Amino acid sequence: MRILVLCTAYFAFSVQAADKPKIVLILAADMGCGDMGHLGTAYKNMKGWPVEDVAPLFPGIVDLIEKPRSPGQMDAGYLPEHGFEFLAQYGVIDGLDAFMASLNKPTPAFYPPWKILPQVEKYYGVEAKRYLPQLREYLPQIPTRYPTPALNEKVTTSTRQAIAEIEKTTAQKTLIRIKDLKH
């Protein structure tokens, strides 16, 4: 419930800089609750906040990517997508590590890899090249992984495109690890 109140307050009022750390800590405390539907919106609204203000959220977001919520929970499948993008915008490499590890795990949640894969090169540049072998191993698994041929084709196409983009990238990005941040 607090997440809904915070998101509504954020939309209705301009959040004062002094209040940002308090909001982040409340969101971080609520990461494990069942009312997860508005976290994606909160992530989008916090875009551009200083890294020191949002760093307390990073471990909980990585946890959501590694262990997606079950389909019965509100917005369950899209939480990893929003969380990945949020971490990527701050150059948090732990988010990419968690997403890549999740590709080969069966998950009860509807996880949209075709939305995340195109972002890998954009946010992580040459650092993503270390995941090329894993992406190549993932390709043959796709035809039996998803419930419909159309979905399998969508994931196959996005994976091939991501591989091609990562192979040709020369972009150097400034990345951080959660353990290296001071909280």
Residue recorded with tokens 């301009």: 14
Question: What percent of the chain has a predicted confidence (pLDDT) above 90?
Answer: 30
Distance of CA 113 to CAs 24, 44, 149, 177, Å?
A: 27, 19, 15, 22
Domain count within the chain? 1
Which residue, 160, 84, 178, is CA-closest to 124? 84
Give me the domain span that covers residue 20. 2-180
Note whether 60 and 28 are within 8 A (CB). Answer: yes
Query: What is the mean predicted confidence (pLDDT) over 102-130?
Result: 79
Rounded distance between C-alpha atoms, residue 31 and residue 118, angstroms: 26
Distance of CA 156 to CAs 92, 143, 160, 163, 169, Å?
A: 26, 8, 6, 11, 20
Q: Which pLDDT band holds residue 15 (cuts at 50, 70, 90)?
A: low
The confidence score (pLDDT) of residue 44 equals: 74
Residue-wise pLDDT tens digits, 129-180: 999 999 999 889 888 877 788 988 988 999 999 999 999 999 999 999 999 9
Angle between helices 93-103 and 58-66 (to 10 degrees): 10
